[in-house]
Amino acid sequence: MIDLWYTESHTENVRFSIKINKHFHSETSEFQKIDFFESTEFGTFFTLDGLMMVNEKDEFVYHDMISHVPLAVNPSVKKVLVIGGGDGGTARELTRYESIERIDMVEIDEAVVRACQKYLPLTASKLEDSRVNLYFEDGVAFVKDKKDEYDLILVDSTDPIGPGEGLFTRAFYQDCFDALTKDGILVNQHESPYYQRDAIAMKKAHSKLKEIFPISKVYQFHMPTYPSGHWLFGFASKSFDPIKDIKKDEWNKFGLKTKYYNTDLHVGCFALPTYVKEMLDKNE
């Protein structure tokens, strides 16, 4: 019996390793290296350029938090744009809302979607929903000419290195602002406060977003397979405050069963540790 471990560097001085049963798929797309593994602890998981993206054990945390937080603030959302999110988990959560009419999903790398459709149906199976329109394009370019079109944009990106880099720029956030309707909300993958490299990305993203959106907050969740397990999303909005304007009753009437999200946790997750607040408040 071979002893096989997947090891990821969370910093140059910290490693996280998962015992795997097999490394069953590997390909190099036009954009990145894609690898799929089967493990006892996390089920099937895949990496992009050697970084954990999605696994069957904790994907529910990330996908609950990227989707249900904005939907509880504006339960009337009809048109949504997902940028990135090639695994399909974010789109899957959106398809649970019958009230959502259109989900445009723009993923730069078709190979990620095709591999997830084959190997990770847990997240990818709802990409077949008739309201989901798949575009295999650069999200940065896609959003540029859209005006007043989406009620919600979810940026489900990789880190700001490689293909995800453009999704952390001021110009992109401005284009998102313009693409949103008057009560529009942008939620974006916002890195982590704990290790230095992630914290720098977090601070940069926030300082750009708050220059553009009248309301810009950050919320946290427990994501055990991401570096430090302390992960963040940004909530930027034209009119709605994510805490004051939550519609708890309306959201609860959807009757969605969720494993991580609930409306009490919604309010709680915006209460950040003091050191994180201080990093975000500093203008750099």
Catalytic residues: 156
Q: Is 105 in the site for its own copies (CB under 8 A)?
A: no
Residue 139 in marked binding region: yes
Among residue numbers 204 through 223, which ones bind its own copies (CB under 8 A)?
Answer: 220, 222
d(CA 233, CA 68): 12
Residue 158 in marked binding region: yes
Can you give the three-state secondary structure of the chain, one letter per residue?
A: CCCCEEEEEEECCEEEEEEEEEEEEEEECCCCEEEEEEECCCEEEEEECCEEEEECCCHHHHHHHHHHHHHHHCCCCCEEEEEECCCCHHHHHHHCCCCCCEEEEECCCHHHHHHHHHHCHHHHHHHHCCCEEEECCCHHHHHHCCCCCEEEEEEECCCCCHHHHHHHCHHHHHHHHHHEEEEEEEEEECCCCCCHHHHHHHHHHHHHHHHHCCEEEEEEEECCCCHHHEEEEEEEECCCCCCCCCCHHHHHHCCCCCCCCCHHHHHHCCCCCHHHHHHHHCCC
Which one, 19 or 118, has the nearer CB to its own copies? Answer: 19
Residue type, 144: K
Residue 98 Cβ, how far from its own copies at the closest point, in Å?
21
d(CA 87, CA 96): 16
Which one, 171 or 271, has the nearer CB to its own copies? Answer: 271
The pair of three-digit structure tokens given for residue 219, joined into one six-digit string = 């919320």
Which one, 1 or 182, has the nearer CB to its own copies? Answer: 1
Residue 32 in marked binding region: yes
Residue 77 Cβ, how far from its own copies at the closest point, in Å?
22
> How many residues sit in the footprint of its own copies (CB under 8 A)?
41
Residue type, 102: R
Q: Is 51 in the site for its own copies (CB under 8 A)?
A: no
Q: Is 11 in the site for its own copies (CB under 8 A)?
A: yes
Residue 258 Cβ, how far from its own copies at the closest point, in Å?
6
Residue 159 in marked binding region: yes
Which one, 134 or 265, has the nearer CB to its own copies? Answer: 265
Q: Is 67 in the site for its own copies (CB under 8 A)?
A: no
Residue 121 Cβ, how far from its own copies at the closest point, in Å?
21
Residue 220 in marked binding region: no
Per-residue x/- marks for its own copies, 223-252, CB under 8 A? -x---xxx----------------------
Per-residue x/- marks for its own copies, 25-44, CB under 8 A? --------------xxx---
**Annotation: binding site for S-methyl-5'-thioadenosine:** 32, 107, 138-139, 163
Chain positions contacting its own copies, by CB under 8 A:
5, 11-19, 39-41, 58, 61, 194-195, 220, 222, 224, 228-230, 258-262, 264-275, 277
